[in-house]
Amino acid sequence: MSRNGPFALIFHTLFIAFIVAPIVIVCIVAFTPEGYLSLPTKGLSLRWFRAIADYPEFVRAFRDSLWLAALSSTIAVLFAVPAALAIARHRFIGREAMLAFFMSPLMIPHVVLGIAFLRFFTTIGIGGTFIGLVLSHIVIVMPFALRLVLAASIGMDRTVEHAAISLGAGPVTVFRRVTLPLILPGVVSGWVLAFITSFDEVTMTVFIASPSTITLPVRMFLYIQDNIDPLVTSVSAALIFLTVIVMVMLDRFFGLDRLFIGASR
């Protein structure tokens, strides 16, 4: 790292310390053997990780979060693929407006979306249901799915499709055998980013969750509002470990920087 001077490296070290400090502290405190929040100075203990099993509400919330994220990102991708192909391949009046409309959930504060969905769902009678959660999460993950599928569709070489058509393939065959495989990296990374976005969402979900259908981040948030103890710390640490494992896998398959830069454009 010869190109950075000593000041740059000191700055960099402080920056990295700032970034990892709160994450590392959660992981350390979670191993405390004491009954209260403390640094584990007298040895490490797994008692607070074992204690999670005695609180089925966290386990249930985790399971519901996984289902919610998987369902909403899959449905969002199913809607996003044809929409992305339409925007990537056709020039029509209202194209820009259509794209802006699909991207709008990124611009609207999630508090506003939460309030809007709470009002809407209670009015039509699906307040506090899992269906409501899925519908609302489809909306917030759609921009991520659409953006990555769109990038893949624009970059795709269409001569392969034309070759397939000239060899007599019908539209369904062309899509299934040629188009889909070519845009698949975009579809998969769009789905992954949508899944993570849905899984981590708390601001909007806190408005529309109910005691019977609640996600893990909302469950943790409500718990922390009452009190901060080693239990919620170990739940957070477990979630951090899980995320890091997923992150390492994603970095292997996609390159994390590509996923992020693709998403931020």
What is the footprint of other proteins within residues 95-154 (CB under 8 A)? 95, 98, 101-102, 104-105, 107-113, 115-120, 123, 135-136, 138-139, 142
- Our finding on whether 239 is near other proteins (CB under 8 A) is yes
> What is the number of residues in the chain?
265
Among 54, 96, 157, 257, binds other proteins (CB under 8 A): 257
For residue 208, the minimal CB distance to other proteins (Å) is 11
Among 41, 43, 54, 91, binds other proteins (CB under 8 A): 91
2: which DSSP letter? T
- Our finding on whether 189 is near other proteins (CB under 8 A) is no
Beta carbon nearer to other proteins, 84 or 185: 84
Task: Tell me the site size for other proteins, rule CB under 8 A.
Answer: 93
Beta carbon nearer to other proteins, 25 or 46: 25
Beta carbon nearer to other proteins, 185 or 236: 236
- Find the binding residues for other proteins in span 149-178 (CB under 8 A): 158, 162
Phi, psi of 90 (to 5 degrees): -120, 145
Stretch that binds other proteins, among 56-64, 66-74, 178-186, 242-250 (CB under 8 A): 242-250
Beta carbon nearer to other proteins, 114 or 185: 114
Kindly give the residue spans of alpha helices, DSSP state H, lying in the chain.
6-29, 47-52, 56-89, 95-107, 110-124, 130-154, 159-166, 171-174, 180-200, 205-208, 216-226, 230-253, 256-264
Q: Which residue has the tokens 């299934």?
A: 176
Q: Which residue has the tokens 């980013």?
A: 193
103 in Cβ contact with 143 (< 8 Å): yes
203: which DSSP letter? T
For residue 73, the minimal CB distance to other proteins (Å) is 14
Please state the separation of Cα 198 from the chain's center in Å: 5
Stretch that binds other proteins, among 44-52, 75-83, 149-157, 183-191 (CB under 8 A): 75-83
- Find the binding residues for other proteins in span 31-50 (CB under 8 A): 37, 39
Give 142-145 contacts, CB < 8 A, sequence gap 24+. Answer: 142/76, 142/79, 142/80, 142/102, 142/105, 142/194, 143/102, 143/103, 143/104, 143/105, 143/106, 144/190, 144/193, 144/194, 144/197, 144/263, 145/73, 145/76, 145/77, 145/80, 145/190, 145/191, 145/193, 145/194
For residue 256, the minimal CB distance to other proteins (Å) is 5
Stretch that binds other proteins, among 41-49, 56-64, 182-190, 256-264 (CB under 8 A): 256-264
- Our finding on whether 221 is near other proteins (CB under 8 A) is yes
60 in Cβ contact with 194 (< 8 Å): no
Beta carbon nearer to other proteins, 43 or 166: 166
